[in-house]
Amino acid sequence: MIHIHGQVIDEETRCVHYDGPTDIIAIKFACCGRYYPCIHCHEESESHRRRTWATNERDERAIYCGACKSEHTIQTYMNHTHCPRCSSLWNENCKYHHTIILRRTIRESHSKRQPCCRSSKNGKAVRDKRI
C-alpha cells in the first residue's frame, strides 16, 4: 500500500492546502521518492532541495489517484484531465504547476501558457529554456 506523506486530511489525498472536489491526486517527488498531495506538504516536511522529474523520466509511475488508489505515469498525467481508470476528474489547474514537479521540453513550454510561472520573479521560465 502506498503511503501519502504530509498533512493529508482524507482518503482521497486532499490536504490542508488543497481540498477542492478534484484535488485527488498525490505526486511522488523525484528527490525523495515520497508521495505528497502538494508542493507545500513536501516543503513543510522535507529540508532537502527539490528535484523535478526529467523529460526522459515520464514513464515513471509518480502520480497517485486518491479516488481509485492507483498509480499512473507522468505521461498519463500530462495527457489526461481525468483518471483513465476511474474517470474521476483531476484538478485541471494543476497543469499550471507542472514545472514544479517535472521538466517540460522547450516546445511544451512555448505551446502551453503558464501564467503563474511566467510572472514569477525568480526567472524560472528563463531557466527552463536550458533543457
Task: Give the binding site for Zn ion (CB under 5 A).
Answer: 15, 17, 29, 31-32, 37-38, 40-41, 46, 65, 67-68, 83, 85-86, 88
Q: Which is nearer to Zn ion, 11 or 105 (CB)?
A: 11
Q: How far is the CB of 15 from Zn ion (least distance, A)?
A: 3
Q: Which is nearer to Zn ion, 41 or 62 (CB)?
A: 41
Q: Which is nearer to Zn ion, 18 or 109 (CB)?
A: 18
C-alpha cell at 31: 528527490
Q: How far is the CB of 71 from Zn ion (least distance, A)?
A: 10
Q: How far is the CB of 6 from Zn ion (least distance, A)?
A: 5
Task: Residue 82: count other Cβ atoms within 10 Å of its Cβ.
Answer: 14
Q: Which is nearer to Zn ion, 27 or 83 (CB)?
A: 83
Q: What is the DSSP string of the chain?
A: -PPB-SSB-STT--BSS--STT--EEEE-TTT--EESSHHHHHHH--SPP-PBPGGGTTSEEEEETTTTEEEEHHHHHH-SB-TTT-PBP-GGGGGGHHHHB---HHHHHHS--HHHHT-TT-HHHHHTT-
Q: How far is the CB of 72 from Zn ion (least distance, A)?
A: 8
